[in-house]
Structure 1
């Protein structure tokens, strides 16, 4: 193809889960609720990133000019978004794929702290992506993969990506620390990669604790076995701070089995992350007392305790 600006690139299509229901809820409330503030915060973040990145977690490169040094992002990432959909493309190289994975993880981890999760797909192919102008078969394929194959709160990687980058297999992020491969299923980006967290969370542990509270909220909201806002839930809210994020009039009546499955899958991903990286989340030998934890893990998995979804047990102020 000999059309200027029409090129092979890696392309990702992302969708914000539950966005339509959030909008209906905001409009029914008719005021600046916690949900409205969360949606505005997330969309403001995406808007600012589509214009100029805030620099956190970016992969800068520097190009010498005659009288100055130009700073650019590795892999030439380009971002477009409208409402609950985000499209990101990057150059057709290993550096481009690195940049794309980095940007996707930056987005997904940041908005997850607001209790909002993403689903998406990454592919490779022809696209025209310049400013607001966006079209091409790669964009269409990424959209179809997300809507038909992603299923869970994850970002799947099309098999064609591994074919294009065959000579780089085993190098980060094309290895098991960044990408999970499930037999007879698509590969997908790690939801909670080791030591990757937004700048406003002081550590990876603090990030995991915040994400844990968000997952617990969705599990209890969508599980029909949970109702009202009983003592167990009130006790848990002291740790999770749900009222600050989701509104002060909490009620867990209702349930939705199809949505619950998505968060059960995310819960399993979270628990697997804790198990896999337990050595980084345990109290060290020289740390005799850490926030109420004298030994073992500083954070424990999520489980069903017979009444609600909760931590396996309390660990002082850290669970």
Structure 2
């Protein structure tokens, strides 16, 4: 009798909700989390920007979310990153930060059960290297993922990721967040519709603040502010508009750790 293969090669994203303990003790957050986790459970049964997600596996474990897709599928990596973008944007829209990492390797992910070397790698990358509210990926995994882009999805090859100063690439989620914050109606389906310019001020208001308590928290929000400013500047160049008044400065910042309800992230 032949030996069955337990694992299959998959791309996997491990996302962590920063400051989760404090958030779940805040009654004002309960409605959001109920809707957030309900949306996670629906991803496998819906289309996102015309992407069929039926081969996607999603599992939520307390303050963590695991998403994976088989490596053999065409444009599978784009499917994974699209869901990471939407979840990150949904959370940020409510002032909640996600941090994560994407890995490739052997994984078992069926019927809400997930384990394997790829999950361990993604978790350790998130825990030890991601640091900031970003979902990182190693260059070699990114190259493998981009090789799966096919047909109309090729255009997103250079739109899904940015390279950070530490050499890691990360999922470029802020443009989608602008669109989501400026949208009316079904935020899941409006994530990539329109130009998203009307949502910039909403995101700016969420991020605005300075002097967060503790060096670790301060570093995370300084990184987010830098990412926001870079993204807004690039959008201004693309739209041929002066967005300088939308940039976040040191002088105008309040305390984001208080605003976001997170004192230890």
TM-score, normalised relative to structure 1: 0.66
Which residue of 157, 163, 169 corresponds with 1:174?
A: 157
CA contact (8 A) 1:15 1:86 kept: yes
Q: Does 1:154 align with 2:100?
A: no
Which is richer in helix? 2
Q: Does 1:267 align with 2:225?
A: yes
Measure the CA separation in 1 of the matches of 2:13 and 2:253.
36
Q: Does 1:126 align with 2:126?
A: no
Q: Which residue of 2 aligns with 1:10?
A: 11
Q: List per-residue Cα deviations over 1:62-106 (Å, max 9, x = no partner).
A: xxxxxxxxxxx26x2111002210000012044110100100001
TM-score, normalised relative to structure 2: 0.78
Q: Which runs of 5+ in 1 are unaligned?
A: 27-34, 62-72, 225-254, 284-295, 311-319
Measure the CA separation in 2 of the matches of 1:8 and 1:42.
31
CA contact (8 A) 1:50 1:78 kept: no
CA contact (8 A) 1:274 1:281 kept: no
Q: List per-residue Cα deviations over 1:169-201 (Å, max 9, x = no partner).
A: 8944432x2211235521111131368633872
Q: Which residue of 1 aligns with 2:188?
A: none
Q: Which runs of 5+ in 2 are unaligned?
A: 185-193, 256-265
CA displacement at 1:42 relative to structure 2: 2.9
Which residue of 59, 64, 73 corresponds with 1:85?
A: 64
Measure the CA separation in 2 of the matches of 1:55 and 1:298.
38
> Which shows bigger deviation, 94-103 or 261-270?
94-103
Give the structure with higher Rg (CA).
1
Measure the CA separation in 1 of the matches of 2:27 and 2:14.
24
1:215-254 matches, within 5 Å, as 215-216=207-208, 219-220=209-210, 223=211
Q: Which residue of 2 aligns with 1:21?
A: 22
CA contact (8 A) 2:100 2:136 kept: yes
How many residue pairs were aligned? 240
